[in-house]
A and B are shown apart, each in its own frame.
Chain A
Amino acid sequence: MPPMSGGAPMTSRRTLAQKLWDAHVVPGGRADDSAPDLLYVDLHLVHEVTSPQAFEGLRLAGRKVRRPDLTVATMDHNVPTRGGVRAADDLSRKQMEVLAENCRREGIPLHQIGSRRQGIVHVIGPELGLTQPGMLIVCGDSHTSTHGAFGALAFGIGTSEVELVLATQCLPQRRLQDLAVTVEGDLPIGVTAKDVALGLIGVAGTSGGQGHLVEYRGSTIAGLSMEGRMTLCNMSIEWGAKAGMVAPDETTFKYLERRPSAPRGPAWEQALDASFDHEIRVDATQLAPYVTWGTNPGQVVAVTGRVPAPRSDTDERALRYMDLKAGTAIEDITIDRVFIGSCTNARIEDLRAAARIIRGRRVHPKVRALVVPGSTTVKRAAEDEGLDLVFKSAGFEWRSAGCSMCLGMNPDILAPGERCASTSNRNFEGRQGSGGRTHLMSPPMAAAAAVTGHLVDVRELV
């Protein structure tokens, strides 16, 4: 068991998040008590889009990277998913070249395009065994909350903070409040971790988590796989939470078994009697497969429902953008594209779940469907299991790893007006391409939409 650092007394009333926080406070790291805590970062993940200005800032100030050995870089946001680096546009290629040059100069390990371990930053961290319980992890990307699935404190930062962490390995931060999300009960058939996230955001709203460190707990969470926990923690930012986490348990340690050693012991275990500032309780047995109908992830409805009547200007604007009418049955909405991918839902378990629906079926003739594995490792594992053949023989395009159509920085984008069933995390206007329309859902739901050509309750296909 790792002893606590930071000098704070260990009491069972402290939440996991506060224990993690205390363990990373640098004693003597601030001028006085009115200053924020100075936190020490165990792992800094870097990618090509939010880092070039930070490295440039270091260079201009004559600073070096303090701990290249605690920094890992990958290329993910704008990598082409076919054709390799040559298929990238000039600006994207330049960004990748600049990252490679920065990593070379500073001695930072880089998983570049074409290499065995390359992939979406939030997929490869856990895969490489770099993400472990008890760590503080940051990255210039809002979905860094993903790593909280391992009982780590993990959050996204901006480019100025990337520069600060590169230079000092530290980050001044104000302590935040604790929010428990307690999910109890068995998930109904066809309901996934993604549906827990979407259902929760539908209730909590897009800013319900603001200013909070969230701990997901309860019997439903204990029953989720690591992949499911990562999906849930990944979506924490979509309702404004600073970080989301799950206390490590046997599932966590089993996942980490064949990876470098991880800490065990009471320090990182869930404190059953921990005191939270707030709690949201969710009855898992009442959840359904969810689909977003609007342009923020809080605009969500069960697949068996209808497009709701607008309750605000935001809703009205969303309906116009999405070209939907209130009262339309969700299952009557036809789609043009399907995207199975992203740091939310492109791990091996996600691909297996989608393949189970696809097997023996064909992609609807009017639909163009894409699978983009979350990492090169996931891609290889899927190919070893023959999942690529399942997808390809059904008419899916099988691509190389990257963020791809989640944010459309590479050539994979929606045309204006196209409607997409997507396993990604944001349905913002233009997110997947200017004028494109995104419906968020789980991998099995996206697979079901691909074969039927419309949004459909996956439970009708299993």
Chain B
Amino acid sequence: MEPVVKVGGRMAPLDRADVDTDQIIPKQFLKRIERTGYGPFLFFDWRQEPSFFLNQPGFDGAAVLVAGANFGCGSSREHAPWAIRDAGFKAVIAPSFGDIFRANSFKTGILAITLPESQVRHLIDLASEDATATVEIDVRAQQVRGDGFAYAFELDPFIKECLVKGLDEIGLVERHGAAISRFESSRMSWLPSAR
């Protein structure tokens, strides 16, 4: 994976709570066998509404999606962060996330940043008033910075290291191959086998 150290750009406000992965990428687009090409289908049904933010010219090329609480709840489909990435976004900021979506996002290289409700509200208001407003997300410093503000966020140190160094998680786990083999040899005989 490419290292992710600093990302930034204009914001796109999605002022809705409980945005589920079925909205982010509807099921009819999960039939592909590739990891890319999902961008045109991001928020496919909501895009049919002319007033939806992705249809507003000002938010073309926005890099940071700012949304309501419990963003990415629902299914485990990694196609959701793939679609967000393929549509040009680098990060999502929300007061909370569905657990699986958040894990999937970091593995896709999309930053899923949790900020308190009041700070997210500020960012949504800012982006709604001024589509040219930008933020920068600094992974090392764990800060979201904009004109006149710097909001700190928490980040799992392991995820942070993987992002900053662009580490391949499978490679990291494979380094513990001997420990895994030892564990395997001590597994209980009653455990079922698929064969």
List B contacts of A164 (CB < 8 A).
169-170, 173
Closest to A71 in B: B194
List A contacts of B31 (CB < 8 A).
49, 78, 89, 91-92, 94-95, 409
List A contacts of B183 (CB < 8 A).
5, 26-27, 29, 40
Interface residue A81 (Cβ < 8 Å from any Cβ of B): no
The reply to whether A242 and B99 contact each other, CB–CB distance below 8 Å, is: yes
Interface residue A408 (Cβ < 8 Å from any Cβ of B): yes
A residues near B, CB below 8 A? 2-3, 5, 26-31, 34-36, 38, 40, 42-43, 49-50, 52-53, 56-57, 61, 63, 68-72, 77-78, 89, 91-92, 94-95, 98, 108-109, 129-130, 132, 135, 140-142, 156-161, 163-164, 167-170, 172, 174, 206-207, 210-211, 237, 240, 242, 260-263, 296, 312-314, 317, 407-409, 426, 428-431, 434-435
The 9 nearest A-B residue pairs measured at CB: A158-B104, A28-B179, A91-B31, A160-B107, A52-B33, A158-B78, A159-B78, A156-B76, A207-B70
Please, could you name 17 A-B residue pairs with CB atoms under 8 Å apart, sorted by A? A26-B180, A29-B176, A34-B158, A43-B194, A69-B195, A70-B193, A71-B194, A89-B31, A132-B190, A160-B169, A261-B190, A314-B16, A409-B27, A429-B22, A429-B45, A430-B45, A434-B45
The reply to whether A263 and B190 contact each other, CB–CB distance below 8 Å, is: yes
CA distance A42 to B189 in the complex (A): 12
A-B contact count (CB 8 A): 205
Closest to A211 in B: B99
Interface residue B18 (Cβ < 8 Å from any Cβ of A): yes
List A contacts of B18 (CB < 8 A).
206-207, 296, 314
Knowing A29-B180, A91-B31, A313-B16 are in contact, say whether A157-B74 is a contact too (CB < 8 A): no
Closest to B48 in A: A434
List residues 155-182 of chain B with CB under 8 A from any CB of chain A.
Answer: 156-158, 169-170, 172-180, 182
Q: B9-29 vs A: 1/0 string, CB under 8 Å?
A: 000000111101011001110
- Least distance between B158 CB and chain A CB atoms (Å): 5
The reply to whether B34 and A170 contact each other, CB–CB distance below 8 Å, is: no
- Which interface residue of B18, B45, B96 has the most chain A CB atoms within 10 A? B18
- Least distance between B70 CB and chain A CB atoms (Å): 4
- Which interface residue of A172, A263, A313 has the most chain B CB atoms within 10 A? A172
Partner of A174, one of B35, B156, B193: B156
Q: A28-B182, A132-B190, A428-B23 are in contact. List 18 more A-B contacts (CB 8 A).
A: A5-B183, A5-B187, A26-B180, A38-B176, A38-B180, A40-B183, A40-B187, A42-B191, A53-B33, A53-B34, A63-B170, A94-B33, A130-B194, A159-B104, A169-B184, A172-B173, A409-B27, A409-B30
The reply to whether A167 and B170 contact each other, CB–CB distance below 8 Å, is: yes
List A contacts of B157 (CB < 8 A).
34
The reply to whether A49 and B158 contact each other, CB–CB distance below 8 Å, is: no
List B contacts of A130 (CB < 8 A).
192, 194
Closest to A261 in B: B190
Interface residue B56 (Cβ < 8 Å from any Cβ of A): no
Closest to B22 in A: A428
CA distance A301 to B173 in the complex (A): 46
The reply to whether B70 and A426 contact each other, CB–CB distance below 8 Å, is: no
CA distance A72 to B192 in the complex (A): 11
Interface residue B55 (Cβ < 8 Å from any Cβ of A): no
- Which interface residue of B23, B32, B69, B180 has the most chain A CB atoms within 10 A? B180
CA distance A56 to B20 in the complex (A): 27
The reply to whether B78 and A160 contact each other, CB–CB distance below 8 Å, is: yes
Closest to B17 in A: A314
Closest to A108 in B: B194
The reply to whether A132 and B26 contact each other, CB–CB distance below 8 Å, is: no
The reply to whether B158 and A170 contact each other, CB–CB distance below 8 Å, is: no
CA distance A306 to B34 in the complex (A): 45
Interface residue B141 (Cβ < 8 Å from any Cβ of A): no
List A contacts of B17 (CB < 8 A).
312-314
Interface residue B98 (Cβ < 8 Å from any Cβ of A): yes
